[in-house]
């Protein structure tokens, strides 16, 4: 046990003292912020004024479209970046020559675009927008809603519905989801809950992947430098493997704790200035579950990475073969959206019980909608049993592989190592 502790201490200090550890600790939260929060912030910065023409069969319809576009965007639209203001001209001439004239104005920069609402397009509900910039899907959605609402207003007004009643009929409905668990009602956070769930799952995925690869590279480096031969003179291969895995795991836990402290500080400051728009609604059991599934998942994948590092002779060979280990981690990431939408479906249930998928998928189900306790217990039990089997088999491969040089073993040879080691 003393040898294992010494190896754990060496692996831990070797990583936390490096510049790469400090840089990654600071950069990964910045990266996660960049891929989740920054895009919405940039979208909201667009703003500006756009000059468009509404070509419609009647001035009344064109004015109704104009009034819809002149309305201040609601909170949902503003969060999507729909802060553009419009200068609108009405045009009731729907001839082909007029369309050509408007195209020329767009080309010359006199206007930014025009809506073409001819009777045929209105009847088929397929209108066209011509503009210099047509890649802004938020703006297209706003124009589409304005035209749709204008048509509805016009047709309802023609049937005798007054303006006040029209406003009531066309008012948006704000749907608030309420989760009922154990007889208690909890308001769901919508987008906030989705983002927080996604961030936690991505954190679990990244740490399993990055630190598993770190174990593999450490084995390859020590194998090539012949440090292994010196270390084996004072400890066993199993002690080396256990110490290396637990030492790297400790470094990963340290990094996660630093991120948790930073997140708590940022969340506290945001709450103090009321800048958080909604509750994250993460269940209390998510954090203990994170620790359990991170530890078991790390043991599972780091054992596979350690065995792979012992089998190969260089980083190039390791990169060629590590996709065998990476694929079981990637599959749950493909299933994220499906599991979030249907956490209790048969597919989600069975996939979350597969030991190689459960560190991510069962943890995801716990965050989204906590399943019955027996499902969690069954998943953890299967995962523990799989970890034990994988550790035993990989330790046998590791024991022989670390002393094999110059030749990559074949699959039959690896099976022999597992059988006779």
- Work out the pLDDT band at 408, boundaries 50, 70, 90: low
Higher pLDDT, 47 or 62: 62
pLDDT digits (tens, 9 = 90+) for 85-115: 888 888 888 888 998 999 999 999 889 899 9
Residues 38, 41, 45, 50, CA torsion sign: positive
Q: Tell me, what DSSP letter sits at residue 117? A: -
User: What is the per-residue pLDDT for 394?
Assistant: 78
Distance of CA 299 to the CA centre of its chain: 24
Q: How many Å apart are CA 252 and CA 214, to the nearest integer? A: 10
**Element housing 292 (H / E):** helix 286-311
CB-side neighbour CA atoms (13 Å) of 271: 9
For tokens 């080396």, the residue is 240
pLDDT digits (tens, 9 = 90+) for 281-310: 566 677 788 888 888 888 888 888 888 877
Q: Sketch out the chain's domains with CATH numbers.
A: 47-170 (3.40.190), 188-420 (no CATH)
pTM surpassing 0.75?
no
Q: Which long-range contacts (CB under 8 A, 24 or more apart) does 139-144 make?
A: 139/50, 139/82, 139/84, 141/80, 141/82, 142/69, 142/73, 142/77, 142/82, 142/84, 143/69, 143/115
The pLDDT mean for the chain works out to: 78
Q: How many Å apart are CA 152 and CA 139, to the nearest integer? A: 20
Q: Tell me, what DSSP letter sits at residue 278? A: S
Residue 357: count other Cβ atoms within 10 Å of its Cβ. 21
pLDDT digits (tens, 9 = 90+) for 57-83: 888 888 888 888 887 665 555 545 446
Task: Quote the crossing angle between the two packed helices 237-272 and 19-36, to the nearest 10°.
Answer: 50
pLDDT at 224 over 50: yes
Q: Which of 181-190, 269-278, 339-348, 366-375 has the lowest mean pLDDT?
A: 269-278
Q: How many Å apart are CA 308 and CA 212, to the nearest integer? A: 11
* Cβ burial 242-272 (10 Å sphere, 16+ → b, else e): bbbbbbbbbbbbebbeebeeeeeeeeeeeee
- Work out the pLDDT band at 276, boundaries 50, 70, 90: very low
User: What is the per-residue pLDDT for 275?
Assistant: 43
Rounded to an integer, the average pLDDT of 356-371 is 87
pLDDT digits (tens, 9 = 90+) for 195-219: 667 777 777 788 778 888 888 887 7
User: What is the per-residue pLDDT for 293?
Assistant: 87
At 412, list the tokens: 């039959």
């Amino acid at each position: 046990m003393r040898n294992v502790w010494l190896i754990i201490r060496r692996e831990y200090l070797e990583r936390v003292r490096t510049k790469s550890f400090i840089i990654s600790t600071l950069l990964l939260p910045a990266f996660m912020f960049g891929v989740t929060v920054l895009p919405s912030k940039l979208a909201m910065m667009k703003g500006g004024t756009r000059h468009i023409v509404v070509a419609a069969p009647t001035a009344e319809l064109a004015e109704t479209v104009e009034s819809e576009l002149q309305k201040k965007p609601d909170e949902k639209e503003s969060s999507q970046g729909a802060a553009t203001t419009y200068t609108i001209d009405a045009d009731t001439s729907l001839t082909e020559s007029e369309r050509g004239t408007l195209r020329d104005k767009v080309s010359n920069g006199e206007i930014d675009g025009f809506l073409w609402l001819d009777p045929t397009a209105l009847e088929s509900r397929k209108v066209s927008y011509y503009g210099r910039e047509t890649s802004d899907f938020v703006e297209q959605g706003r124009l589409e809603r304005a035209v749709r609402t204008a048509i509805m207003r016009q047709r309802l007004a023609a049937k005798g519905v007054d303006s006040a009643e029209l406003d009531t009929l066309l008012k948006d409905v704000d749907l608030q989801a309420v989760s009922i668990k154990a007889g208690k009602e909890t308001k769901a956070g919508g987008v906030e809950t989705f983002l927080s769930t996604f961030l936690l799952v991505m954190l679990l995925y990244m740490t399993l992947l990055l630190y598993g690869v770190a174990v593999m590279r450490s084995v390859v480096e020590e194998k090539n430098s012949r440090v292994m031969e010196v270390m084996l003179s004072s400890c066993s291969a199993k002690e080396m493997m256990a110490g290396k895995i637990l030492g790297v795991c400790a470094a990963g836990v340290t990094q996660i704790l630093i991120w948790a402290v930073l997140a708590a500080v940022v969340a506290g400051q945001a709450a103090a200035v009321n800048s958080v728009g909604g509750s994250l609604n993460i269940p209390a059991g998510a954090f203990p579950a994170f620790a359990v599934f991170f530890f078991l998942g790390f043991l599972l994948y780091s054992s596979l990475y350690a065995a792979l590092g012992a089998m190969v002779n260089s980083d190039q060979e390791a990169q060629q073969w590590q996709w065998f280990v990476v694929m079981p981690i990637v599959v749950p990431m493909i299933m994220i959206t499906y599991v979030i939408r249907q956490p209790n479906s048969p597919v989600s249930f069975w996939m979350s019980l597969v030991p190689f998928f459960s560190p991510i998928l069962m943890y995801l189900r716990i965050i989204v909608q906590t399943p019955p306790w027996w499902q969690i217990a069954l998943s953890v039990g299967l995962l523990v049993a799989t970890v034990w089997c994988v550790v035993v088999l990989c330790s046998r491969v590791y024991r022989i592989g670390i002393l094999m040089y110059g030749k990559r073993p074949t699959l039959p040879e690896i099976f022999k190592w597992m059988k006779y080691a």
